[in-house]
Structure 1
Amino acid sequence: MPVFQLGSSTTFPPAVFADQTGLLAIGGDLSIERLLSAYAEGIFPWYSEGDPILWWSPDPRLVLIPASLHISKSLRKRIRKQDFYVTMDESFTGVLEACAETRREKGEETWIMPEMMEAYQGLHDAGYAHSVEVRGDEGELRGGLYGVSLGRIFFGESMFTKTPDASKIALAALAGQLHIWNFDLIDCQMETRHLISMGAARMGRRHFLSVLKKSLQHGTCKGPWIMDALPMAPFFSKDLYG
């Protein structure tokens, strides 16, 4: 398949035209209108510094159905220690910066460049992008994640951890909250062992696009989001704090 060159229109070619690597198109911009158009079609931007904007729709892609979240015994034990608390949309910028910085500290290439940070901050300000923050007793960020929400799908973008299991706690809290809100799935985009260990699984592109189309028939829950008191309780055989 050819890679499409985007012009001034925010309309994308069908995601099924992506090549074997998942690459669909090149160019365009990171305006709120274009980003929302992309996510609504199962497409997302991902590129490195010095490269043009690249737009992807992988096949298969990794997804997590909130009700299928797996919390290991060790993570359950960690959660029950209660030496943290979780918030939503209280420090989006802090989570965004920490996700970028964590990758740099590890010597890894990051796609969270200044223009990407500005774009997703704009989505957050417009109510479409959200963060989950895991905090210590004094309110410091220990871990977190951010992503975009449309219809009943949350498109995960990145996560970070500064203490063991903090990113897993953030994902567990998110999945619990989305389960309460009847979301269909969390789009994890790319496969990692970390996510598979927590219940994520591969989904073919056509199936994903079908789920996405149905999900978008529901209204989008725009921010700021507020987390319920016990979002992870549905995943425990006993009350989380019992």
Structure 2
Amino acid sequence: MPLTFPTPSAARDDLDGLLLLGGQPTVENLVAAYSQGIFPWPVDGWPLAWFCPPRRGILRLARLHVGRSLARAQRQSPWRISFDTAFGQVMRACQAQPRPGQAGTWITPQLVRGYEALHAAGYAHSVEVWEDNTLVGGLYGVAVRGVFAGESMFHCQPNASKLAVLALAEHLRARGASFFDIQQLTPHMAVLGSEEVSRDEFLALLAAEQGVGRQLF
């Protein structure tokens, strides 16, 4: 049975924006969630948890910052970048990526199955960075109603995930997007010019972007 989500403004600030517990990451539920600015985030010992946090990380494409060393790495990179050619491989590499301060990963087998179904339905997408035929970096996320939400990234070589972000930013900007959702601001993304906004500001940006009706992929 499909989930009915509470309005995001009802999210619990004291629980990082928790809105709902339960349900499955089906295509129908994931599309309904992302269209409202909600995403699943498994918590140990809980049913599947759905959040719309009080503070939201975004990258405004007009404010993308590319430092000198990253610009040089982009110009000189021998790597090949592709889109949507190895979604499952990217997601599993993100799942296996060590995270400082984390004992495991939030990318559960249940979520892998759910997002792979979402990819097959045309809503989830990946960016791949290749060294010959070896995947050395990438990211994946969800595009619903003209807004892209980044989920996770990984790298096996320095700057590989950042080059994936730059490729994604160029792709989205060429299609008229003004920002993409990164959910949580991290030092890795802050270097690229990402910022944190309130839930209300994020939801206003989301509604404005959705109103244009862009096709991102």
Counterpart of 2:20?
A: 25
Compared CA separation, residues 107 and 24, structure 1 to 2 (3 A):
closer
Whole-angstrom distance in 1 between the partners of 2:205 and 2:102? 36
Counterpart of 2:167?
A: 173
Counterpart of 2:177?
A: 183
Once the two structures are superposed, the pairs formed by residues 76-87 of structure 1 within 5 Å of their partners are 76-87=71-82
Once the two structures are superposed, the pairs formed by residues 1-242 of structure 1 within 5 Å of their partners are 8-20=1-13, 21-103=16-98, 108-136=103-131, 138-219=132-213, 221=215, 225=217
Normalised TM-score (structure 2): 0.93
Deviation at 1:111, TM superposition (A): 1.2
Whole-angstrom distance in 1 between the partners of 2:23 and 2:198? 26
Compared CA separation, residues 122 and 50, structure 1 to 2 (3 A):
same
Counterpart of 1:235?
A: none
Contact kept in structure 2, 1:150 and 1:220, CA below 8 Å: no
Normalised TM-score (structure 1): 0.84
Contact kept in structure 1, 2:175 and 2:214, CA below 8 Å: no
Contact kept in structure 2, 1:67 and 1:175, CA below 8 Å: no
1:148 partner SS: strand
Aligned residues: 215
Counterpart of 1:240?
A: none
Whole-angstrom distance in 1 between the partners of 2:19 and 2:54? 11
Deviation at 1:23, TM superposition (A): 1.2
Report the AA paired with residue 175 of structure 1.
A
Deviation at 1:156, TM superposition (A): 0.5
Deviation at 1:153, TM superposition (A): 1.4
Contact kept in structure 2, 1:154 and 1:187, CA below 8 Å: yes
Cα deviations by residue, 1:1-48 (Å, 9 ceiling, x for unpaired): xxxxxxx44221011111112111111111111111111111100014
Whole-angstrom distance in 1 between the partners of 2:121 and 2:144? 12
Contact kept in structure 2, 1:152 and 1:185, CA below 8 Å: no
Larger radius of gyration: 1
Deviation at 1:69, TM superposition (A): 0.9
Counterpart of 1:5?
A: none
Which ranges of structure 2 fall in alignment gaps of 5 or more residues? none
